[in-house]
Amino acid sequence: MMAERKYNYLMSMQELMEIYKYGEKVLKQKGSTIKNIDQFIVDLIKRMKTTMYGTPNAIGLAAPQIGESLMLSVIDISMGKEENEFTILLNPFIAEEEGKETDSEGCLSFPNISLDINRSTKILLKGIDINGKDYEKEYSGFMARAIQHEIDHLNGILIADRVSPLKRQLMKKEIKKLKKNGEW
């Protein structure tokens, strides 16, 4: 069943939304809190899911990355390979965190770029579910890292903001090179 659903998403390529890249203003804005889960939000989640599954190597997508400054993100670290892994983050925030680990992270808004980012290894996430009810859940490992990355997007923070000025400068040079080669 999951393979069929993923196939349907991939076949809806005309529904893929543009993913904004580094330099777009919307990526640096804090998203607005979602006060009402109306049809617009439900449809946006569906289109974000389609876009995420239709984008190679995507494990998450935040609303600002598709031009919507909202506190909304979708994640599936299995990339559609495992049932029930699709997660919707609505008005998420990290209530508690512990541990630290540095690992390489990529980002759809930084194609062909990866940076070493320090993140908490365990988090307590709070937010609302699709029915508007408050929830909280603990996450650890790679899922905790992915959630922190997405929440950064919702707060206007990018992976480039989490590295030293020297590494940021080197990244910008790499982006220029990628643009010149048509890889950006």
Per-residue confidence at 14, pLDDT binned at 50, 70, 90?
low
CA–CA gap between residue 12 and residue 15 (Å, rounded): 6
Average model confidence (pLDDT) across the chain: 93
Strands 60-62 and 72-75: antiparallel
Q: Of 4, 96, 138, 150, which residue is the catalytic one? A: 150
- Catalytic residue check, 15: no
Superfamily of domain 2-180 in CATH is Peptide deformylase (3.90.45.10)
Is residue 65 packed enough to be buried (19+ CB in 10 Å), middle (13-18) or exposed (0-12)?
buried
pLDDT at residue 4 greater than cutoff 60? no
Q: What is the pLDDT of residues 43-83, one digit of tens each?
A: 999 999 999 999 999 999 999 999 999 999 999 999 999 98
The 8 Å CB, 24+ separation contacts for 76-79 are 76/52, 77/142, 77/143, 77/146, 79/53
pLDDT digits (tens, 9 = 90+) for 15-48: 799 999 999 999 999 999 999 999 999 999 999 9
CA distance 49 to 74: 7
Report pLDDT digits (tens) over 86-107: 999 999 999 999 999 999 999 9
Q: Is the entire prediction scored with pTM above 0.85?
A: yes
Question: Is 122 in a helix, a strand, or coil?
Answer: strand
